[in-house]
Structures are given as C-alpha cells and as structure tokens.
Amino acid sequence: MAELADPVQAQLIAARRAQILDAATQVFAERGFARATIRDIAQTAGVADGTIYNYFANKTDLLFGLLDRLNDTERRPSSLALAEDTSLAAFFQAYLRERVEALWSNAELLRAVLPELLANPELRGRYYRDVIAPTMALGEDAFRALAAEGRMRDLDVALTTRILAGAVLGLMTMQLLGDVTLAERWREIPEALSALLLPGLLREPTPASSSDA
C-alpha cells in the first residue's frame, strides 16, 4: 500500500506547486516582482499564506520556480536528445519551436521579473549558476555528440550554444522593448532562425569520388 501512496503524494505535491506557480505568474505579471507579496500570491491561488511556505521558502524561491519552468529545466535533457532517425534540421526546428513557445507565452512574466533579475547581483548570480550554466552544459554536450556522429560541423560548441540561446532571448527582448513585428509574427521565428542558422551547423556532405572511365 505504501508503494501506491508515494506516487499519489508526489502528484498532489506537483499539482499544488503548479497551482502556486500559476498564481505567482499572474501576480508577478500584474504587480511586478518587487510589489508582489506572498499574501497576494496565496489569495490568487486560493490557499492560506502559510501553505505557500510548505512548497517555497520565500518570494525569491518562487521566482526561481518560475524561471525553472520557463527554462523547462526538468525536460531539457530529453529535449536535447536527438533520435537517430531524426534529421538535425527537423530536431533544430522542433527545439526552437519549443523554446519560442515557452518564452512568448510568458512574455508578460518576463517583463515583470527580468528587471529584478538583472538589477540584483545575488539573484543574477544564482540564476546563472543554477539555471543558465547547467543548461549551457547540456547544450554543449548535445553539440559535441552531434559533431562526433558527423551530423554537425566541428564548431566551437561553447560559443555556438550561447549564440543560439542568445538569438532566441534577444528576439524576445526586442519584443519586450516594443517590436510589433515580433509580437505579431513570433510563430514564424523557429523556421526563420532555422533557415539562417542551419547552413552554418550542418556538415557538408562529402563529395562522392569519381573514377576514370
């Protein structure tokens, strides 16, 4: 019986965390991180103030829960795994589509929390250490594997990983600054980026040797 209780309990905890994070998303987007309070979030979630602390230590911990969700931290290793029967072009477009969807569907949340993240050295350092650096390491490992398999050029993987991540985040930042084209046509971004970047990633096929007649 105990074996059955653990998965059920885990599901209940995950559901409650998601409920609180959904509420925090709404409150941070409406009020900004600095003005938002745990009480605001609890009221929006429909729970007691103390319930929040059963799942998150404080407001900063909530912020990192949201950033982990935006980063898709738990699923990122599987997202970066390329099946043998999948072309690099198809994988690249699918991955970009996933990341663009995650960021663009949370644009107002990013607008609310990015200023705090950039202005606060402690938050910025923790976010880079706990979220960005591990994600970049996963991307580098994926690119090294693709290069070793001959499916991608032998590039500087550290720089390539950051250029690709920066391209998506930079476009999101442009929209937050008021770019109407990106706000209206963001669903076209994965294909447009693929068309621009894939030629630099794909390994050129080796010409077939010709024999003299």
- Where do the domains of the chain lie? 1-56, 59-201
Report the CATH number of the 1-56 domain: 1.10.10.60
**Per-residue pLDDT for the chain (213 aa), expressed as one digit of tens each?**
444 457 888 888 889 999 999 999 899 988 888 899 999 999 999 999 999 999 999 999 999 888 888 877 676 666 666 666 778 888 888 889 988 998 898 888 888 888 888 888 988 998 899 888 988 998 899 889 888 888 888 899 999 999 999 999 999 999 999 999 999 999 999 999 999 999 998 876 555 544 444
Q: Would you say 25 and 17 are in contact if contact means Cβ atoms under 8 Å apart?
A: no
Please give the Cα distance from 148 to 83 (Å, whole number). Answer: 15
Q: If we measure between CA atoms, which residue out of 193, 19, 14, 25 comes closest to residue 99? A: 193
| 59-201: CATH, from 2.40.50, 1.10.357, 3.90.320, 1.10.287 | 1.10.357
Q: What does the angle CA 139 – CA 143 – CA 146 come to, to the nearest 5 degrees?
A: 140
Q: Identify the pLDDT of residue 203.
A: 76
Q: Identify the pLDDT of residue 167.
A: 94
